[in-house]
Structure 1
Amino acid sequence: MPWGDPLPDGSILTMDAYWSIGPHDWGIEVSPLAGGPAMGSTGAGVVPGWLVALDVDGTLTGPGRPDVPPETAGAVRSARASGHEIVVATGRSLVGALPIANAFGPTGWVVASNGAITARLDAQAPGGYVLVDASTLNVAPVVRMGLALAPELRVAVEDTGWGYLVNRQFADGQLNGRQRTVDGTVELWERPAPRVVLSGSGIVDKLLKPLHDLGVTAHSDGPDWIDVTPAGLSKASALEQVRNRLGVSQERTVAVGDGVNDIEAFHWAARAVAMGQASEEVRAAADETTGSVDEQGVIAVLQSLPNPRLSAQAPAAG
């Protein structure tokens, strides 16, 4: 099978299938998600605290910011120190998610690109992380259809750990990582990718339904922006794999977010918390609402978690 061609049945191209197609030069260490001991676990593979999934933009920090307010970062570190497992779960690419995750320490988990990428922080690994799982899609049908229906479309194809290949430059701050403009469209779809970004005036009305008809996952962020990822993927699907890996019970899961792309994670979590500035649709999907991102509402959620280490040390009643 030539490099970059879709699978014969049109299914999601997993990392194993991706690498079976031909040589690669990513220079990224990869660790299979299934099998092997549970990372970050204790005892019989059970984390003593909760798995806490935290969105980035609009939850941990302001949209597009590369840092986290010190008070919020301190609250996350305190929750981790008490025994909770923190997972940064974001629509950002891995390049954009890593500075946020690293603010909480040299270890931990990251779900990026709306669930297409899962990584484990590891200070000893190249780049400071191990790529645990990556799902990709065939880019060509998405780009061809998008440009046919919206010729002025800006297209960005994610290159994990580096940035994006683009047909035209995006404005500063719109994408995480570097951009490389390619000549012609063929180079955009030479390789499968975890995500394709489509941007243009009013494209949601033109492209969202046709994209769903293609069988891919498509999330809109306003009327002019669509994130396209492989079918069947979401933050929730990736978080469930991490949960199984760590051995955390489903009853001890929390998700905090503010966007439409957090709704599946809200349905997955035992406790779902929307940020105060979230839309009515997002707040309706949550179990509760905390303060806004400007109020650093995520701190109250983290402080409300029971301290598993203190609980374990408490004497039995009677």
Structure 2
Amino acid sequence: MTMAPHDTSRNRTTLAALDIDGTLAPSGTMQVALVVRLAVARLLDAGHHVVLASGRSLVGVLPIARELGLTAGWVVASNGAITARLDSRVPRGYELEDVQNFDPSQAVRLAWATLPGLQIGAERVGWGYDVTHLFPPGRLNGAQQVVSHHYLEERSTTRLVLRGPGADRLVGPVRAAGLTAVLIEPGWVDVTAPGLSKATALEKVRANLGVDPAWTVAIGDGENDLEMLRWAAHGVAMGHAPAVVREAADAVTGTLDEHGAAAALDALHAGVMP
């Protein structure tokens, strides 16, 4: 990653927004490399804010926060549908700050009519998912309860997952129905409330923390990170990210295997910006 000198003035507080899967850890795992954990610790010790911003559900984000030693501050889950404030003094370790539910009935009916038998999951915040079929281990965070697609139509949710061959074809129709649809990988589409993204949630966090917009950094690797990378004053794409993600960023760091997130965070800590 090419880094340009930047006067951080040392008294400036930066907000570093970090994706998880493919950025801090291999997708679907809780394994954050030591070099990444140390880089995050150095940034926290210097007084900066580190905010996890993930497509994962909240129950998938919290173990990573613990792994990184984040016991205070903020996390964004479900692609911006959930914002929680970490607080080690409360029994759960967090308080829900913002939960954006939506009516999934139109998306569920559309998906089932187009691809009968498609695997559908609807998030239950802090618990897991109601699903039409069990997802493979590690693909969804938390518990799973098998229900009918009619059941899913009748209950609001923060995040709907559409998984299976051909699910990619649903992105356009779901968006046309007024909802947010993001292709996470071939055969996997995330659906959330209209106008939501990691960026919309992070902007609220930034304003709450009083961080200058010019002192925001984001690191990510997926298409659900595009808005976040554009929102940040300094967007950094992982080296293995698709071309569309790398082109949206201000700089490109190393791959996950090369611990690119650690390199970017250490550069920020050293007083330079992408």
Q: TM-score, normalised to structure 2's length?
A: 0.92
Match of 2:77 in 1: 112
The match for 2:174 is 211
Question: Aligned residue for 2:26?
Answer: 62
Identity fraction in percent: 48
The answer to which structure, 1 or 2, has the higher relative contact order (CA under 8 A, 6+ apart) is: 2
Tell me the TM-score normalized by structure 1.
Answer: 0.79
One of 183, 198, 223 as aligned partner of 1:220: 183
Structure with greater proportional strand content: 2
Question: Contact conserved, 2:121 with 2:132, CA < 8 A, in 1?
Answer: yes
* Aligned counterparts, 1:85-124, within 5 A: 85-105=49-69, 106-124=71-89
Q: Partners of 1:290 and 1:203 in 2: how far apart?
A: 31
Give distance in 2, aligned partners of 1:307 and 1:296: 17
CA contact (8 A) 1:67 1:99 kept: no
Indicate yes or no: 2:256 matched with 1:296.
no
Residue 234 (structure 1) aligns with:
197
Consecutive aligned runs of 4 or more in structure 1 exceeding 2 Å deviation: 184-187
- Structure 1 residues not aligned, in runs of 5+: 1-46, 309-318
- Residue from 234, 251, 269 that aligns with 1:271: 234
- Between the aligned partners of 1:306 and 1:187, the Cα distance in structure 2 is 49
Q: Any conservation in 1 of the 2:168–2:188 contact (CA below 8 Å)?
A: yes
Quote the offset at 1:98 in angstroms.
0.5
Residues 307/290 of structure 1: CA separation in 2 closer, same or farther (3 Å cut): closer
SS of match in other structure, 1:251: helix
Structure 1 residues 306 and 169: alpha-carbon distance in aligned structure 2, compared to 1, 3 A threshold: closer
Give 2:94's match in structure 1, choosing from 101, 125, 129. 129
| 1:277-296 deviation digits (Å, cap 9, x = unpaired) | 00111000001000101111
SS state of the match for residue 127, structure 1?
coil
Deviation at 1:96, TM superposition (A): 0.5
RMSD: 1.3
- Counterpart of 1:158 (choices 100, 123, 144) is 123
Aligned residue pairs total 260
2:115–2:166: 8 Å Cα contact kept in structure 1?
Answer: no
